[in-house]
Chains A and B, each alone.
Chain A
Amino acid sequence: QQQVKQSPQSLIVQKGGISIINCAYENTAFDYFPWYQQFPGKGPALLIAIRPDVSEKKEGRFTISFNKSAKQFSLHIMDSQPGDSATYFCAASNVNRDDKIIFGKGTRLHILP
């Protein structure tokens, strides 16, 4: 019940295209859903996050769509660029309990130039 399931495992997108990564969770106590971006040899860096009281959050080219009833959320990267090539992790946490962050398995995204 603590798992966050992420797909696809890897994704190749043409420059300028839309990259979409999906995640699903079971624990309804989760109340914070961040996405992390990780470049090789670096730590995960927060990209964008959402709370379950909204269905969408947009920051620049990055958008989280959140479906509370389906317990699913996704990351959309518009106008994908080669610099977006990285591993992306969805995650979840119960911040009201100051809880740990549970990570998905990651998606390795490669943007073709």
Chain B
Amino acid sequence: EPEVTQTPSHQVTQMGQEVILRCVPISNHLYFYWYRQILGQKVEFLVSFYNNEISEKSEIFDDQFSVERPDGSNFTLKIRSTKLEDSAMYFCASRRRGNLNTEAFFGQGTRLTVV
């Protein structure tokens, strides 16, 4: 069964450092998303990406965040200068397209710890 894969599973970084979280969405999917989940809290939308551009972003997704699809398979989230409050689980998701293909598939997540 196809799945969304994320690497690394756990990343520890110093405050102020840049991190890149990587995702490989399901191959025939066209919509890509990043969500985050602070420990014990709800899953929060960060950004959606379609046709090689951001289609929507939340107020959490400030100038410190960026996304990229550098090739045909990877989808990355970059945090330029990490803060302690960026510590969370980050989930990538992908969806095929259209209202007949509604299911979004989530990866296993990357646990980011900023120290």
Contacts and interface: CB of A to CB of B under 8 A. Distances in A.
A59 B78 CA distance: 39
A60 B103 CA distance: 19
Contacts, number: 61
Interface string A93-113: 101101111111110000000
Interface residues of B, number: 27
A32 B91 contact: no
Interface stretch (B12-20, B40-48, B62-70): B40-48
A44 B33 contact: no
Contact of B106 (A31, A43, A102, A106): A43
A1 B106 CA distance: 25
Q: How large is the interface on A (under 10, 10 to 19, 20 to 34, 35 or more residues)?
A: 20 to 34
Contact of B97 (A31, A43, A46, A98): A98
B45 A43 contact: no
B104 A104 contact: no
Q: Please name the 5 residue pairs, one residue from A and one from B, whose CB atoms are nearest each other, closest first.
A: A43-B106, A103-B43, A95-B99, A105-B42, A95-B102
